[in-house]
Amino acid sequence: MREKVRISREGRDYSRRLAAIIFWICILLGFSPLLGSQQEGADTAIDHTPVTAFKRGESLEIKAIVAGQADWMRFYYRTPDLEDFQVRPMETSSGMDYVCNFDTSVLSGLEFDYFIQVSINGQTLALPQGAPESTFRAVDESGAFLPPVPTGPLEDEQMVRKYKMPIDLNASVRIPIQQSSSDPESSIATADGNFRVAWNFNKNRFGLGLDSNFIYAGEPPEGSNPFDLSNMMLSVTHGEHTLRVGDINIQESDFTVSGLGRRGVEYAFYGRKASIHLFDVSAQQPQGFSGFGVPKPGLSLYGAALGSRFWKDRLSFKVVYVAGKDDPSLGSNVGVMWGGMARQGRVLAFLPIISLFSNKVTLGGEYAESRYDGNLEDDQDALRGTAWRLSGSALLGSFNLSANFRRISPQFNPIGFSYFANDRKIYDANLGLNLGRVNLSGSYLEARDNVDDKPNLTTTKNRNANLNLIWTLSNPFSFNFSLKYDSQDSSIIEGEVFSPQDSQGLQLSGALNWILGRTGNITLSLTNARLSSASNPQLDNRNLTANLSGAFRIGNWLTLMPTLGYSGINMPAQDERQKMLNSFLLAEVWFIPQIVSVSFNGSYSQTEAGSPGISRFLNLEGNLNLNVQKWVPWIQVSSLVLSLRSSYNRSEMQGYIRDYTAWFGQLDLSF
């Protein structure tokens, strides 16, 4: 009877939550003009943290937030050897947060200047003020390979005349042809594939979007289907309003919910002066085609975030509320084991932010209170706890500084996290100095537990300090240096520590980068690390690592990327030394430009230790690639590659030798 009553209550809760979500969405759709969505001429600001460093060849994320519904936002950049700025559009999924994933491999220099522009109701604003005369500057910290600038046409005229599919499709299928192994118990690879479908429709202020990804596995994990759905999201937008259903990510604050990727439903409104976010997601991660829509009452994490801006956007605040229940017996939580204990809780947080001196100084914080019951089956009452954070940042010309302090009580536990480390005091600070050819940055973090100084509990303190220097010696040369210090110490106020632990680590590293014009680069790096422990001298060791790497290109037909590394570890307390040799080579040769190529990558490592002896690992892989997208009639195809892949692996450990050879056929398609 008690179980029936519980189920009946859960059913009523489910209906109430669904009705409440629909009710509030209808209310907000009707009263959105009062929240600033249609205020003509309202003050608008761009929130953006300047990017000062990047690694060439990697994707650089340029983020900005605009207070209101923008017509468009664009990212402008140029290298010192160019007079005109290049432009990239910035995309948004919420109407407020804009992102541009910038491919830095297109850059022709060691640094670039940039600014951001946004258009709202025909008015164009720029950051920094005075752009394009005033800009931000980012400096390369890796000295990676500079590819040549393409000289051919940017787009095939014949491709323009072809039919463009109304949806975006991306597929990858791999089929084994032949496999052999010297180990009869080793697993044999099977066919697998990935299929993504995306569709977007936008007209005036209305938009529809669908993004889904399907997978196929010849030998799926236990409990899974060979053909399954990994993620899917359906979105509907109208002006500042957005409704999403499916796999969504909830990101609100440090003490409520952050980085929670689950299936559910959310509604977001971003006006010029106010923002509203409502969500209801599953506490567990449903698999396959199940779990879409409003979650079950016993697996529901729901909440709301309300924000507003005042005083010409200099002052803002946000209130976040998250509550729910998590019963693992009703679902499966990927990567987290709760031992079958159902938990329930709620948390309320307040986040104020004030910006001064034209956004050069920012002060903020967060205060949160939680009520949490980690086991609904026992007789223990729910615990109440608090957590708070103070933060500040300053940007003064070429100098920037930020600092944070967090205190989390032992009883604080937000239901929005699968796991949360409470009972903490954390101090951290970061600084940066950009002097043109010299960039200096540093950070310090100190954390400890047992914040109430209880006499019978062990207190652990952790400290971490980093110092980084990037020095462009001249146009072809740059030098990187970093210093890192880590320490951990356990103590107790009264009595003896049951298992004392302490460690101190110091690491020095440096790298010299030589840019060979547009044909390649060479990098030499050295790292010297030391680890010591007073309570456990067996952990004492010293490590010296050296690496020589490069990237070279000859025209448009040959690319080489070799790496050679050596590492030596000395452990005096154990009278043992280890030597490791590593090498890697990546190469690609185009026999017919943009049509036929052969790619190769291989790695070899050898480890010489005491009792285990010498271990060797060899991995070789070669691909014959045929790009046939230009031969597809009528339809625009971004990429269509047929590949014949072969791989060979050999391992030698303690006299045991294992060989594995495989041939695969692969198809990669995008249109």
Residue 6's H or E segment, with its range, is helix 2-31
Distances (CA, A) of 514 to 19, 111, 112, 642: 64, 15, 18, 36
Q: What is the pLDDT of residue 262?
A: 85
For 21, the 3-state DSSP assignment is helix
Q: Which class for 516: exposed (0-12), middle (13-18), buried (19 or more C-beta within 10 A)?
A: middle
What size, in residues, is the chain? 671
514, 486 in Cβ contact below 8 A?
Answer: no
pLDDT tens for each residue of 371-408: 999 888 888 888 999 999 999 999 888 899 999 999 99
Strand 53-54 versus strand 136-140 pairing type? parallel
From first CA to last CA, the distance across the chain in angstroms is 57
Q: What is the pLDDT of residues 75-128, one digit of tens each?
A: 999 887 677 788 888 887 555 678 888 888 777 777 888 999 887 766 678 888
H or E segment to which residue 551 belongs = strand 541-554
Token code pair at residue 369:
């209170």
Reference 613, options 638, 643, 579, 640; nearest CA is: 579
Query: For residue 155, is pLDDT > 50?
Result: no
How far apart, in whole angstroms, are the C-alpha atoms of residue 66 and residue 63? 10
Question: For residue 40, is it left (φ>0), alpha (ψ between -120 and 50) or beta?
Answer: beta
| Residue 576 parent element (H or E) | strand 576-592
Q: Which residue(s) pair with 120 in the sheet?
A: 123
Residue range 469-508, pLDDT digits in tens:
988 887 788 899 999 999 998 876 555 555 667 889 999 9
Q: Are 215 and 3 in contact (CB under 8 A)?
A: no
Of 182, 187, 101, 21, nearest to 658 by C-alpha is 182
For residue 302, is pLDDT > 60? Answer: yes
Strand 241-250 versus strand 541-554 pairing type: unpaired
- 423 contacts 407 by C-beta, under 8 angstroms: no
Q: Which residues of 238-270 are buried (b: 16+ CB within 10 A; e: fewer)?
A: ebbbbbbbbbbebebbbbbbeebebbbbbbbbb
User: 240: alpha, beta or left, given left = phi > 0 and alpha = psi -120 to 50?
Assistant: alpha
pLDDT at position 34, please? Answer: 42
Which of 135, 41, 116 minimizes the C-alpha distance to 74?
Answer: 116
- Of 129-133, 348-352, 475-479, give the lowest mean pLDDT range: 129-133
Q: What is the pLDDT of residue 161?
A: 55
pLDDT tens digits along 541-567: 999 999 999 988 888 788 899 999 999
Question: Which of residues 474 and 253 earns the better pLDDT score?
Answer: 253
